[in-house]
Amino acid sequence: MFNYNFRWNQALSSLPQMLEGALVTIEIAVLSMAIGITVAILLTLFRLSGSRPLSAIATTWVEIARNTPALFQIYMVHFGLGGFGIHLSPYLSLLIGIAFNNAGYLTENFRGALKAIPETQTRAARSLGMSPIQAFQNVILPQMLRISFLPMTNQMVWAILMTSLGAVVAMNTDLYGVTSELNARTFRTFELFAIAAVIFYVITKAITLSARLLAARLFRY
Amino acid sequence: MFDTALTANDLVFLAKGAGMTLLVTASSVFFGTILGILFGVIRYQIGPWWATPMTLVLDVFRSIPLLIQLVLANAFITTVLGLRISGFAVACGVLSLYTAAYCAEIVRGGIEAVPQTLRRAARSLGMTWGQDMTYVVLPLATRVALPSWIGLALGVMKDSALVYIVQVVELLKSTQILITRLQEPLFLLMICGLFYFLISFPIARFGGYLEKRWSND
Amino acid sequence: MKTSVFAAGLLAATALALPAQADKLDDIIASGTLRCAVVLDFPPMGSRDASNNPVGFDVDYCNDLAAALGVTAEIVETTFPERIPSLMSGRVDIAVASTSDTLERAKTVGFTIPYYSFENAVVANEKIEMSTWEDMKGKVVGATAGTYEAIWLEGKVKEWGEGEFRPYQTQADVFLALSQGQLDATVATVEVSQANVKSGNYPGIKIVDKTPMVPDYVALITLREEYGLINYMNLFINQQVRTGRYNELYKKWVGDGEPASLIVEGVYR
């Protein structure tokens, strides 16, 4: 049945390179989440500000990010902006593409989280003499982040999985890019990608588990 | 307004790519939902402990990039097993399992949302398990699950852009082919993005509307 | 009685145990279709015309081979990185896709004798100051993932220790990035470079210099164990040269100049 010679040692000898690639993958995902969360908080503020143009910017961003494929977004960042003369390295294109996507989804998550926080909190904070920004920063934001913790973890896992799309913008230092290059040289497709799949699984499970542990510590009551 | 070399022929070519996207999405969502309902019900019935093996396997589909799943499935089926299958079949197969993995969770969540009291009342009225499922659980669970399911279906449509890796010429790949010939990347990418947006946005909004209407606020 | 039954059974078993050894050549003729992998973003060897149909030197070559076998040709579009995987997975029977005959690849697929030969040149963005191939040192360069030029270029970038190498997924992406200025230079065959510069599709690129690589011989590929098919294709390529069809296709698709000589002087033509 198996008319195929498995050459596992050939694939396993490339394991160090793939692990280096895995580090780059994690790095991109973490950075894109950091940027994504920051932008999402900003967009949430835009929405809360009540100003029409700012709200529109936030809504446009969210709707584009959530209604078009991530692959399309990453391709656009590299080649679309390139048409305007803005040159971004593959690393940056991938990072910005994923961050754009993250920001959109996270803003939506934050919106859902805000609905669970009663209005009375803001009013109480304001009546204590806090400015709107202070009220948001000290009272609303922590609660919002806490409620959104699980969706944010999911988004982080998504970010890790999205790094595999970097191949279309010539990204060859993340885990998928390294595996792809090795494949182009040796054609051991099944062995190489099976190992890559295992590494991805381990990374995502590690993230989910550590998030759960973190949640148990942070949100103890 | 636009000075472009795009011909009617090219629009037809793009339309074919769009058709392929929709076909792959529809097939995968169809089979994936059926499988998902099956897995979801089984998981609910036999309880979390016994269902652990199944949960673990389904979890794999959500923890590995879809690109790798497609490449791996393709390599395994064609090179290792030596079967001759079209890229389209591999794409639909992988996407269906991917959909099923998420759908099982959605279905389970939907079933759990039906109050136990209602179900016990149905059984004590003499309904069989099957009747209970069909007449009591199905309507109520669907209300809870439908918005998430719509989100999942739209997600699959967006992820269908990845099937280019198994040589299925869908919309994004068709756009890239035209960009090669016509050299108008921005314009063509806008059209491509617009297509995804025009399909996804109204349906997503509709899902949001349903969610609001059916929620208990 | 028992021995004769036993003998009859043995005879029947041997008859069943010797299946007709049908190899791929027989399979192709029997099935009536020859599936060729062709790369279609590589003019003039493979590209699409205004109605998005496949045309090119490789496309014609595949059609010629199918005609010789008495079957119909089916052009299966592939990208450069996908040529060999599509062959291994049985999606195509052969690849007429300008595959350079490297030893590394020969571990996995079977090569015929060369059917064409390329020289490679450096194509750079017009704004970059370059006069020889060595000026690529320290610049941002790229090529199509998995091709002969890409492997050579990546090796050179590692050797120089400076500069950056980017492997794009398709030839078209490479030239798009080049004309947008995201790449400073790339290495591509002279034919492709000239075709792309001439077409005007990629404004702002220029050909700089030839690279010091040995001529890039490309061959048809199929599965390593299909000796019957490989021998047939070898003879076919030879006949293409003998009958003048090779020159004819060169004039049609590449144009000026003389095609590289594929003749072994004084030995075989």
ipTM: 0.85
CB-based contact C145 A181, cutoff 8 Å:
yes
**What residues make up the domain containing C201?**
120-210
Contacts of A75 in chain B (CB under 8 A): 172, 189
Is residue C168 a part of any domain in this protein? yes
Q: In this structure, how many other beta carbons lie within 10 angstroms of the beta carbon of residue B196?
A: 23
The whole-number pLDDT of residue B1 equals 42
pLDDT bucket at A42, cuts 50 / 70 / 90: very high
CB-based contact B87 C41, cutoff 8 Å:
no
Q: Of all helices (H) and strands (E), which one includes residue C7?
A: helix C2-17
Closest CA to B13 of B169, B127, B121, B149: B169
Which residues, at least 6 apart from C269, have a Cβ–Cβ distance to it below 8 Å? C238, C241, C242, C263
Is residue C125 a part of any domain in this protein? yes
Q: What is the CATH number of the domain that holds C68?
A: 3.40.190.10
Do both C193 and C235 map to the same domain?
no
Please check whether residue C195 touches A, CB under 8 A.
no
pLDDT bucket at A40, cuts 50 / 70 / 90: very high
Is residue A4 a part of any domain in this protein? no
pLDDT bucket at B185, cuts 50 / 70 / 90: confident
- % chain C with pLDDT above 90: 15
Tokens at A187, concatenated: 């054609």
Is residue C266 a part of any domain in this protein? no
pLDDT at C201 over 80: no
Is residue C103 a part of any domain in this protein? yes
Please check whether residue B172 touches A, CB under 8 A.
yes
Tokens at A126, concatenated: 């304001």
Q: pLDDT by residue (tens digit) across B105-162?
A: 888 888 888 888 888 888 898 888 888 888 888 888 888 888 889 989 999 999 999 9
Can you tell me the mean pLDDT for C114-126? 86
Please check whether residue B191 touches A, CB under 8 A.
no
Alpha helices in chain A (DSSP H): 8-12, 15-49, 52-67, 70-75, 81-83, 90-115, 119-127, 132-135, 141-147, 149-162, 175-186, 189-218
Higher-pLDDT residue of A2 and A124 is A124
pLDDT at C163 over 50: yes
Do both C112 and C26 map to the same domain?
yes
Contacts of C84 in chain A (CB under 8 A): 187
Do both C87 and C162 map to the same domain?
no
Q: Which of B13, B78, B182 sits opposite C90 (nearest CB)?
A: B78
DSSP 8-state class, residue A78: I
What is the total count of domains within chain A?
Answer: 1
Please check whether residue C22 touches B, CB under 8 A.
no
What is the total count of domains within chain C?
Answer: 2
CB-based contact C181 A82, cutoff 8 Å:
yes
The answer to whether the CB of B158 falls within 8 A of the CB of A66 is no
pLDDT at C235 over 60: yes
Q: What is the CATH number of the domain that holds A73?
A: 1.10.3720.10
The whole-number pLDDT of residue A3 equals 54
Q: pLDDT by residue (tens digit) across B186-200?
A: 888 888 899 999 988
Residue pairs between chains A and C whose CB atoms are closer than 8 Å: 55
pLDDT bucket at A1, cuts 50 / 70 / 90: very low
Is residue A6 a part of any domain in this protein? no
Do both C103 and C37 map to the same domain?
yes
Tokens at A198, concatenated: 């295992």
Is residue A2 a part of any domain in this protein? no
Do both C106 and C31 map to the same domain?
yes
Q: How far is the alpha carbon of A30 from chain B, nearest alpha carbon, in Å? A: 17
Do strands C94-100 and C109-118 pair parallel, antiparallel, or not at all (unpaired)?
unpaired
Q: Which of C99-108, C129-138, C164-173, C251-260 has the lowest mean pLDDT?
A: C251-260
pTM of the model: 0.84
Q: Which chains touch A (3 or more CB pairs under 8 A)?
A: B, C
CB-based contact C85 A187, cutoff 8 Å:
yes
Do both C94 and C163 map to the same domain?
no
Do both C26 and C158 map to the same domain?
no
Do both C230 and C157 map to the same domain?
no
What are the backbone angles phi and psi of residue B3, rounded to the nearest 5°? -95, 95
Residue A43 β-bridge partners = none
CB-based contact B186 A83, cutoff 8 Å:
yes
Can you tell me the mean pLDDT for C131-151? 85
Is residue C265 a part of any domain in this protein? no
pLDDT at A13 over 90: no
Q: Which of C108, C177, C180 sits opposite A187 (nearest CB)?
A: C108
Do both C135 and C194 map to the same domain?
yes
Is residue A85 a part of any domain in this protein? yes
Do both C153 and C113 map to the same domain?
no
Do both C151 and C108 map to the same domain?
no
Do both C129 and C100 map to the same domain?
no
Q: pLDDT by residue (tens digit) across A135-194?
A: 888 888 888 888 889 889 999 999 999 999 998 888 888 999 999 888 887 778 888 899
Q: What is the mean pLDDT of chain B?
A: 86
The whole-number pLDDT of residue B65 equals 93
**What residues make up the domain containing A119?**
12-218
The answer to whether the CB of A117 falls within 8 A of the CB of A44 is no
Q: Which chains touch B (3 or more CB pairs under 8 A)?
A: A, C
**Which of B94-97's residues contact partners 24+ apart within 8 Å by CB, and which partners?**
B94/B66, B94/B69, B94/B70, B95/B24, B95/B25, B95/B27, B95/B28, B95/B32, B95/B66, B95/B156, B95/B159, B95/B160, B95/B163, B96/B27, B96/B28, B96/B31, B96/B32, B96/B35, B97/B32, B97/B35, B97/B61
Q: How far is the alpha carbon of B121 from chain A, nearest alpha carbon, in Å? A: 32
- Domains, chain B, ordered by start: 27-215 (1.10.3720.10)
Q: Which of A18-22, C53-57, C134-138 has the lowest mean pLDDT?
A: C134-138
- % chain C with pLDDT above 70: 90
